[in-house]
Structure 1
């Protein structure tokens, strides 16, 4: 069921992916210990799917739960932990929760730089997502600066208009 969810997600058939992931999650929760990596993986996948649908509250619930599992077993699973942190950081980036996003990206970077080779796909993914985050931050700063300058310019024009 988990694999079917993955196939549907890869095909961008997100509602179907969620259906299969939720069925797999019910099975896993009955038969595996809570801290099992498969539970974290399925919760992370559910969170990512809900984020793609724009249901950020549900996405966050699943991603936070997946991350809690991963953090409880971090030394054994740096890849899963970095993946979960990256997913939640990306969700926060999309929501413009930039301070929270940055904190998580930095944590994920520390894990991948310590535990994974430079060419590991998860390390590359985390680094690419962090770079995308930094571009967004720079763009927002430039936009705010430009908006501030426009406001100052308009203020001067309005003052000149009423003075004259």
Structure 2
């Protein structure tokens, strides 16, 4: 992909992230959808950046309570990441964490727990216990445990 197209993706994503962080979800959604479609067209369906875009759009849907729309995107992102990167890659852990968080929000604790555990194990083994991603997933899991079991 040419450098100008990469910059275009980054600009779109940054603008979408800004809109999302300020609660302007309706402005973020078309940018995230466009980024996903362009990545699919330019990189092909089987690319890790497509999985990232799926996760980003799903997290927006989750933020707006559109869980039924988020779930299939998160599952697809997880499947794609596993297929392209293997079962023990940090990006797979992030996808597992995202799907676990969705299940948590929906009160599906039995489905969330093993996903959080798997994500944490992958991060501890591949990134180490002090890595920021590992610490974030550990905090998410701890918060989940407090909520689900208290």
Q: TM-score, normalization: structure 1?
A: 0.79
Deviation at 1:8, TM superposition (A): 1.8
**Residue 94 (structure 1) aligned to one of 85, 94, 105:** 105
| 1:39-118 mapped onto 2 (5 Å cutoff) | 39-75=50-86, 78-118=89-129
Q: Which piece of structure 1 moves more, 45-54 or 78-87?
A: 78-87
Q: Which piece of structure 1 moves more, 93-102 or 75-84?
A: 75-84
**Residue 10 (structure 1) aligned to one of 3, 14, 21:** 21
**Residue 46 (structure 2) aligned to one of 23, 31, 35:** 35
1:122 matched to 2:113: no
Aligned length: 139
Deviation at 1:94, TM superposition (A): 0.7
Q: TM-score, normalization: structure 2?
A: 0.85
Gapped runs of 5+ residues in structure 2?
1-11
The two structures, once aligned, show a CA RMSD in angstroms of 1.6
Deviation at 1:36, TM superposition (A): 1.2
